[in-house]
Structure 1
């Protein structure tokens, strides 16, 4: 089956391509001729996921899926949440986001957090939604060179390595995105 993954994030594309394997032909937005910035104007992670998938389906009539993810930190009342990608301001910068998060958590003892991913799949106009959550803690300083975004400070519950210290396979097996995509792949294989 051919599907478009509605993202321009090369890191996410590589992560998901590895999970999907050869059973699915994955197209990028550029592959389908989509060069515009897809709107993400909703105030929730599920809302942004659906908005992106709807945009591709409505404008290109291509079966697709879109994800939106965010880091929800308890001590920050769920922030950065839906604003995780631009938490440190424009233009998007992983370093600025990470630095602002650590600054805002300075001296905070409650460092509980979770990554949440919501995927919206559109096949022939029919919508399905899949969610994955990874619970963990925010460290006081970054560890590891892998991953991207907040991975160097996110220590998943039950592990002694941050997402940035894990291999892509290790991370995918327990990550929010990995869990959501596992549900998506099971759904697609059983259609």
Structure 2
């Protein structure tokens, strides 16, 4: 895989996601700049998979910025909801004006899980797809990571972001919302995808 270079665009407008990616890349001496800081638009996520959406976001950011770009598409998939919200995880949090409220999104997930009945269970998993695109030749490399666990209610913890406060990873008794950043980075779906990316960098 091509070298990333000293400067990398992080193709997200999500402050929590940007912070996590910057922390994961900190050991590699790569300067990270967010898409919002560069005034880049948020492309419409029209892909059918997490990888599809990560690829299109990375390609657009690389083309517009003229720099290598890293994009992340991630979300939570709930077994009782047949994999939803999945790639629609962020959209489940949006109101009619496009503002995101993950408290409301978590309430919707739990309400629908409860409606599915006890036999449907509370199993869920997070998926993270990372894509790196280069502006000069259209090359894109993609990596995917997952972490499995269960949903709890009410949400717990004010760390993390998104659906973290309602997700307990397998083998643990705390939600991602209760994990310190370093703890989450050791086992998360995003961390697994990053390990694959770093291995590809050699």
Confirm or deny a common fold (TM above 0.5).
Answer: yes
Specify the alignment match of 1:118 in structure 2.
Answer: 129
Cα RMSD for the two superposed structures: 1.6
Indicate if the aligned counterparts of 1:102 and 1:141 stay in contact, CA closer than 8 A. Answer: no
Q: CA deviation at 1:183?
A: 1.9
Higher alpha-carbon deviation: 8-17 or 52-61: 52-61
Q: CA deviation at 1:127?
A: 1.2
Specify the alignment match of 1:173 in structure 2.
Answer: 186
Higher alpha-carbon deviation: 126-135 or 101-110: 101-110
Q: CA deviation at 1:88?
A: 4.2
CA distance in 2, matches of 1:20, 1:140: 32
CA distance in 2, matches of 1:156, 1:43: 25
Specify the alignment match of 1:148 in structure 2.
Answer: 161
Q: CA deviation at 1:172?
A: 1.1
5+ residue gaps in structure 2?
A: 1-5
Q: Which 4+ runs in 1 deviate beyond 3 A? A: none
Indicate if the aligned counterparts of 1:152 and 1:165 stay in contact, CA closer than 8 A. Answer: yes
Correspondence 1:17 to 2:22: yes
CA distance in 2, matches of 1:13, 1:187: 21
3-state secondary structure, aligned to 1:128 = strand
Matching of residues 38-49 of structure 1 within 5 Å: 38-49=43-54
5+ residue gaps in structure 1?
A: none
Specify the alignment match of 1:50 in structure 2.
Answer: 55
* TM-score normalised by L of structure 1: 0.91
Structure 1 counterpart of 2:40, from 35, 44, 53: 35
Structure 2 counterpart of 1:93, from 71, 92, 101: 101
CA distance in 2, matches of 1:8, 1:88: 15
Specify the alignment match of 2:118 in structure 1.
Answer: 108
CA distance in 2, matches of 1:73, 1:141: 16
CA distance in 2, matches of 1:152, 1:115: 13
Structure 2 counterpart of 1:26, from 29, 32, 38: 32
Give the count of matched residue pairs. Answer: 188
Q: Deviations over 1:61-87 (max 9, x none)?
A: 210110100101111000000100121
